Amino acid sequence: MATAHTRTASKTAKGRSGRKRRTSRRDPLAVKLLKQDHRQVEEWFDEYEQLESDREKLELFNKIALALKVHTRIEEEIFYPEERGDVEEDMLDEAYVEHDGAKKAIAEIEAMEPGDEFYDAKVKVLGEYIKHHVKEEEQPGGIFAQAKKGDEDLDAMGERLKARKEELMAEMGGGKAN
Ligand SMILES: [Fe+2]
Ligand SMILES: [Fe+2]
């Protein structure tokens, strides 16, 4: 039972597919980088739906999988633990559990091949799952909002997230593609 839009469209030039520009200019670096990752995978999940060839699907899914693995790692190694104390415990606990769910789904898809029954459906469901998780992080009062109100220096943390991301991309992306 959605309440009527109280604030009418002033400058609502949102993205076509309902993707909102949630990246605020004022975001500290850590939040900005994590949101950039979110926008990137969202875009790739949308793109996946347009694909027809199995080869392209596999290629794009591999990109999505790597991005998600690296992103969840940097959040789990740096962002989440350092936000303990600033962000509600329950919310962080749920985020870890959701990451685990995503990892399992990724592993399942990796064990399959495009063209297999349910492959596309699994990718689609993973995308929806990720969008839900991203919302928990980005929504008002969510993890990022609470983090921004907290004591951590999120610009300095951003530098570390960035460095660790580069390391992991090289480590996980280079070499062992399967
Ligand atoms: Fe995230
Ligand atoms: Fe996350």
- Cα of 33 from ligand 1 centre, angstroms: 9
C-alpha of residue 51 to centroid of ligand 2, in Å: 26
State the pTM of this model. 0.84
CA of 147 to the centre of ligand 1 (A): 13
Nearest C-alpha neighbor of 23 from the set 11, 31, 12: 31
Q: Kindly give the distance from the C-alpha atom of residue 51 to the centroid of ligand 1, in angstroms, as a whole number.
A: 25
Distance in Å, CA 95 to ligand 2 centroid: 6
3-state secondary structure of 64: helix
Tell me, in angstroms, the distance from the centre of ligand 2 to residue 43's CA: 17
Give helix 119-138 / helix 29-48 axis angle, nearest 10°: 160
Per-residue pLDDT of 111-153, as tens digits, reads: 999 999 999 999 999 999 999 999 999 999 999 999 999 999 9
Mean pLDDT for the stretch of residues 55-60: 98
Residue 8 C-alpha to ligand 2 middle, in angstroms? Answer: 31
Whether the CB-CB separation of 35 and 79 falls below 8 Å is answered with no
Q: Could you list which residues have their CB under 5 Å from ion ligand 1?
A: 34, 137
Residue 123 is predicted with a pLDDT of 98
pLDDT category, 26, cuts 50, 70, 90?
A: confident
pLDDT, average across residues 60-73: 98
Cα 134 to middle of ligand 1, angstroms = 6
**pLDDT in the model for residue 2:** 42
4's CB contacts (< 8 A; 6+ apart) are: none
Q: What percent of the chain has pLDDT over 70?
A: 84
Whether 110 contacts 65, CB under 8 Å: yes
